[in-house]
A and B are shown apart, each in its own frame.
Chain A
Amino acid sequence: MIEITEAPIDYAALTERVRSHGAGAVCTFLGTVRELTGERRTARLEYEAYPEMALKKMAELEAEARRRWPITELALVHRVGCLDLGEVSVVVAVSCPHRQTAFESCQWLIDTLKEIVPIWKKEVWADGSEEWVHPGIEPPSG
């Protein structure tokens, strides 16, 4: 299952969804909104997607993960819009016959998703300033 949504993600339901008699292991990863980055305090995060391409890339990730590992069920869901501290921004849930492949595939999926799926986040800091997180692009000074 692949989805981009503005609504809070029900990660428990997604975990249930991938559970299967064919699987001996379920791995669910949650990305959540962290308050502190170093000494800076986050007020909220704003996520923006290029939805058509993001869904396409997520489907490609699923196909590649299924090619590499014996995945029984899989769910990839990303949230967009305004997220408060502690909220879930992304869920990867995988079930496999054995735990090692469940761990490996889940980690590969979240790592690769964050590298190639066109979804961006903007930090809104507690001091009111804002900053798009674009590695390699320096935030404007001052």
Chain B
Amino acid sequence: MGRPKLLLPIGGVSVIARVTGALREGGADPVVVVVAPASMPGAAALASEAARAGGTVVVAAEPPPDMRTSVERGFDYLAQSLPPPTFLLAPGDSPGLSADLVARVITQARTHPHAIIIPEALGRRGHPVALPWSLAREIRDLPEDVGINYLIARNSHRVLTFEVAEPAALEDLDTPADYHRWSVTGRRLGALDVAGPERDHGYGEPEVRTLRVTIRLFALARQRAGCAEAALDVAEPATVAALKRALSDQYPALRPLVPQLMIAIDGEYVSDENRPVPPGAEVAAIPPVSGGMDKLRPGVAP
């Protein structure tokens, strides 16, 4: 493919060295740079440039076919020791990435350790993106044909964007990636955060862990909501009671009905409101049927 663009000098410094340096100076440690095997054109030079700029080079056994695979190789490396609570993702070819921007993303990530932090300029999302390490595991479990964007979309309720004034530093996450394109960097945020509780740091919404549940709606509930399915973010622990609260809060038109709705999980009525909603279960809101379901309803005399 000719000379890799990451080796092109900008202001006397190669693109990969600039990006690695910005991540390090901004406070990321370690900075993991995933490169293709040395047999690939330019890969050895890329590895040596990244290492010289302070990056930890991870050489993939095979040329990673896509961005997600590169990122997963980075995770493999980070998981060998105690993984960081938060990691940043940045493409190798974002020469506009500055140490200042990296530092600001890290500050946001420290304040909101369970959120996905994305810098935004002029309405466009950019890099680096900070994600909780718990999502690294989710990336491995994604369907084969989807990438990191899918993960972010699926966890959109956890996304926290903040405005920056550096459009040059920003690049769309949808950009197709070359094998050498992405680097992964981990940032240790301190022992307190590593060992700390998963929720309620007092920083607001993103810290509340939620489960995304799709609930089927019927009859009056369907009509009031205006849809046959509703996507709910149910606060953990995601019990039937929490599901009903989420339905009330997120679909106000259903609020008056919710006390009368039975919840069915995988085709069975659930009368115990403390019962957890298993991820991936089929969930439905069942309004009273015409013959009456009072016998099934908790707290209602027959």
Contact = CB atoms under 8 A, between A and B. Distances in A.
A119 B289 contact: yes
A134 interface: yes
B110 interface: no
Contact of A132 (B286, B287, B295): B287
Nearest to B262: A118
A136 interface: yes
B294 A137 contact: no
B229 to A, nearest CB: 12
Contacts, number: 77
Nearest to A113: B291
A50 B218 contact: yes
A132 B295 CA distance: 20
A56 B269 CA distance: 12
B216 A134 contact: no
A106 B61 CA distance: 69
B290 A120 contact: yes
Nearest to B266: A53
Given A50-B284, A53-B284, A116-B296, A137 B257 contact: yes
A137 B293 contact: no
Contact of A136 (B222, B267, B288): B288
A69 B287 CA distance: 31
A4 to B, nearest CB: 13
A73 B286 CA distance: 30
Contacts of A121: 290
Interface string A45-71: 000101011001100000000000000
A53 B294 CA distance: 18
Given A53-B267, A56-B267, A114-B289, A120 B218 contact: yes
A142 interface: no
Contacts of B269: 116
Contacts of A2: none
B142 interface: no
Contacts of A53: 264, 267, 284, 286
A82 interface: no
B264 A111 contact: no
For chain A, what secondary structure do more than half of its interface residues adopt (helix, strand, loop), or is it mixed?
A: mixed
B289 A132 contact: no
A50 B286 contact: yes
A133 interface: yes
A34 B112 CA distance: 60
Contact of B219 (A48, A52, A56, A136): A48
Interface in A85-139: 111, 113-122, 132-137
A132 B219 contact: yes
B289 A116 contact: yes
A115 B295 contact: yes
Interface in B249-302: 257, 260, 264, 267, 269, 282, 284, 286-297, 300
Interface of A: 48, 50, 52-53, 56-57, 111, 113-122, 132-137
Interface of B: 216, 218-220, 222-223, 257, 260, 264, 267, 269, 282, 284, 286-297, 300
26 contacts: A50-B264, A50-B286, A53-B264, A53-B286, A56-B267, A114-B289, A115-B291, A115-B292, A115-B295, A116-B293, A118-B284, A118-B286, A119-B289, A120-B219, A120-B287, A120-B290, A122-B219, A132-B219, A132-B223, A132-B287, A134-B219, A134-B289, A135-B290, A135-B293, A137-B220, A137-B260
Given A48-B222, A135-B288, 17 more contacts: A50-B284, A52-B282, A53-B286, A113-B291, A115-B296, A116-B296, A117-B289, A120-B220, A120-B290, A121-B290, A132-B219, A132-B223, A134-B220, A134-B288, A137-B220, A137-B257, A137-B260
